[in-house]
Structure 1
Amino acid sequence: MLSRLPKVPDEHKPGRPLVPNGLGIVYVLVSAIYLFILHGFQSWVLQDWERPSALTLASCILFGGFMGLLDDWADIRWRYKAFLPLIAALPLIVIREGETRMSTYFFGKIDFGLIYYFIIIPAIVTITTNTVNQLGGLNGLETICPSIILTGLLIVSIKHGRSESILLYAPLIISWILAYYNFRGKIFVGNTGSFALGTTLAAYAIIANIEQTLAISIIPYI
């Protein structure tokens, strides 16, 4: 299967061997399938129709992955590529995920109202996704770094008893598997993977209302 994938030279190895690229699609598919199944279980078995968080996260990952795939195909210029994550923010805005009342470090809790949906959410998704995308270049950075942050977000969610933590189980497992092979230079996830991982970080932090945790985690990489 890997032999059929497009290959790119590994600039960090002698002889620049060709390495399969675009394995980020595996992350997108596995995560989306898991989240759709989870949504179906919550909807049909648990009769929980109020918060389609699994469906929202799946939609964001699919949008992010497609934007990355488009960039892999067309090699979009940065002046345009930087704004592609805005499309991945649409499910969060339309379904109105997250809470408009946020804690700030200097002014306490502030209710941002519509500003939260139309400015803060797009900003979080755009900045986070582009930050992860720019980590590509050294083998493993674009997968290991977001996997570490995802692990941290999961731990924080579990510690605070957030039910949304279940959303990250499959995405986190597959991201670490890809990170292992990516770090060894066996595969590249491409922009498909980096866009999808970045979108996952942003979307989950918004859904679980732990944007501050994401901000602290992502600052070292900006």
Structure 2
Amino acid sequence: MWSLFLLFLLSLLSYLFTDELIPKLDHLFINAGMFGIDLCKANKNKIPEAVGVISGCVFLITCFMFIPIVFGYDLMDREHFPHNEFAELLAALLSICCMLLLGFADDVLDLRWRYKLLLPTIASLPLLVVYYVNFNSTTFVIPIPLRHWLGTSIDIGFLYYIYMGMLAVFCTNAINILAGINGLEVGQSVVIALSIVIFNIIEISGDQHKAHTFSLHILIPYLATTLALLKHNWYPSKVFVGDTFCYVSGMTFAVVGILSHFSKTVLLFFLPQIINFVYSVPQLFHFIPCPRHRLPKYSAETDLLYPSRTIIVKKDMLFISKLTIKFASLFRLVDITEDSESIMMNNMTLINLFLIKCGPMSEVRLTISLLIFQACCSCIAFLIRYPMASYFYDK
């Protein structure tokens, strides 16, 4: 446990360093043309973009500096050196480092969506190779109600590696599409990271203590640097985090979930992101027209945010588009106005859904509401993981 104490002190220094570094380097991004305009504000000031690369770099440097600390004693005894654990940590950091590079390239080059799906897959390859060498466990435990038909467990083989690769793709992009207002990307990542840390602390005294200690070695410095970034990204935002931060965050969560063997629990902490993804599917797959920006609409007169909208021409509608609108209207998931030629409806994001159900609100109140929802979903995840799990799995 002494290593965790030293890591906490090192992470505290990384928080202070990140907090000092961000305002000192923001002008470099503006000078390089990497800036944006906050569409949810009346002013049109230039705001540095892709600043998540700073917190990501400090996070990785902190992890690198911690390697001699956590493995320092083992270096004295080369015969019993934990090569497997060392390989896991290096593979984890390599995958995160790849996503930092690829995410920054995306911010600079503005890559198409098809590449956003490909990049996490490539970055997860070192992770999957180490998993294959060290574990190669591809067995799912069958829930108790289904064991009469399927048995106690089932080995899905290569499909398990496809699942882990898809997990990396989902985690990186799920945070990216639930974004657009000050503090939301970083705030939701903080809540997810805190939830996993609490889960690790609960489980660290059990049989898998090494796996949960490994997770804490990654998440504690990540949480420290992310909190420093949140301070500058909170309303009114002084910096934008960019896709770089979303990619690094998603890969970090995927890394600890895969190598610490609780990937299904990690997905439980992504409930709001799963809801947002399912709700967004009609626009992501262009069954419904999808504009480049689906941000809420800002009104300078009231200083409030309203649901943004998209227009559908009736004569161009596909059958699946009509079916989607009918289904969403039945469950009151969309706000629709129409005339003889077109239909106007809200963009299908969780942010706009909140504005439909709760009414127009200020940006900071909307962010807080969404983060409270994220925290409530984490509580539901713990409820599923512990009391409810005993009905489906052996204790």
TM beyond 0.5: yes
3-state SS of 2:36 partner:
strand
Structure 1 counterpart of 2:56, one-letter code? V
Structure 1 counterpart of 2:158, one-letter code? L
CA distance in 2, matches of 1:49, 1:43: 10
Shift of 1:193: 0.8
Larger Rg belongs to: 2
The answer on whether the counterparts of 1:22 and 1:191 sit within 8 Å (CA) in structure 2 is yes
Aligned residues: 221
Give the TM-score taking structure 1 as reference length: 0.90
1:112 pairs with one of 156, 179, 184? 156
> Is 1:42 the equivalent of 2:65?
no
1:100 pairs with one of 111, 116, 138? 138
Q: Which residue of 2 aligns with 1:139?
A: 182
1:65-106 deviations in Å (ceiling 9; x for gaps) = 112111111111112322221012112111116643344555
CA distance in 1, matches of 2:142, 2:271: 16
CA distance in 2, matches of 1:68, 1:104: 37
CA distance in 2, matches of 1:180, 1:205: 27
CA distance in 2, matches of 1:38, 1:61: 16
Q: Cα 1:109–1:158, aligned 2, differ >3 Å: closer, same or farther?
A: farther
1:15-62 deviations in Å (ceiling 9; x for gaps) = 222111111112221221222233333344234322123222211211
The answer on whether the counterparts of 2:35 and 2:48 sit within 8 Å (CA) in structure 1 is yes
Give the TM-score taking structure 2 as reference length: 0.52
The two structures, once aligned, show a CA RMSD in angstroms of 2.0
Q: Which residue of 1 aligns with 2:225?
A: 174
Q: Which residue of 2 aligns with 1:197?
A: 249
The answer on whether the counterparts of 1:31 and 1:58 sit within 8 Å (CA) in structure 2 is no
Q: Which residue of 2 aligns with 1:220?
A: 272
Give identity over the alignment, percent: 28
Shift of 1:115: 2.7
1:87-143 deviations in Å (ceiling 9; x for gaps) = 1211211111664334455566444333322x0110100011110111231111111
Q: Cα 1:9–1:51, aligned 2, differ >3 Å: closer, same or farther?
A: same
CA distance in 2, matches of 1:27, 1:54: 19
CA distance in 1, matches of 2:115, 2:65: 34
Q: Cα 1:102–1:183, aligned 2, differ >3 Å: closer, same or farther?
A: farther
> Is 1:87 the equivalent of 2:130?
no
2:213 pairs with one of 149, 163, 174? 163
Structure 1 counterpart of 2:272, one-letter code? P
Q: Which residue of 2 aligns with 1:18?
A: 46
Q: Cα 1:205–1:71, aligned 2, differ >3 Å: closer, same or farther?
A: same
In terms of mean alpha carbon deviation, does 89-98 or 1-10 score higher? 89-98
> Is 1:2 the equivalent of 2:53?
no
Structure 1 counterpart of 2:106, one-letter code? D
Aligned pairs (5 A) from 1:123-138: 123-138=166-181
Q: Cα 1:141–1:38, aligned 2, differ >3 Å: closer, same or farther?
A: same
Q: Which has the higher contact order (CA 8 A, sep 6+)?
A: 1
Structure 2 counterpart of 1:172, one-letter code? L
The answer on whether the counterparts of 2:56 and 2:225 sit within 8 Å (CA) in structure 1 is no
CA distance in 2, matches of 1:51, 1:151: 24
CA distance in 2, matches of 1:149, 1:158: 14
Structure 1 counterpart of 2:82, one-letter code? D
CA distance in 1, matches of 2:153, 2:67: 31
Structure 2 counterpart of 1:207, one-letter code? L
The answer on whether the counterparts of 1:64 and 1:199 sit within 8 Å (CA) in structure 2 is yes
Where do 5+ consecutive residues of structure 2 fail to align? 1-24, 75-80, 205-211, 275-395
CA distance in 2, matches of 1:38, 1:210: 23
The answer on whether the counterparts of 1:68 and 1:196 sit within 8 Å (CA) in structure 2 is yes
CA distance in 2, matches of 1:104, 1:219: 22
CA distance in 1, matches of 2:142, 2:175: 24
In terms of mean alpha carbon deviation, does 76-85 or 155-164 score higher? 76-85
The answer on whether the counterparts of 2:95 and 2:123 sit within 8 Å (CA) in structure 1 is yes
> Is 1:69 the equivalent of 2:101?
no
The answer on whether the counterparts of 1:85 and 1:126 sit within 8 Å (CA) in structure 2 is yes
Q: Cα 1:41–1:214, aligned 2, differ >3 Å: closer, same or farther?
A: same
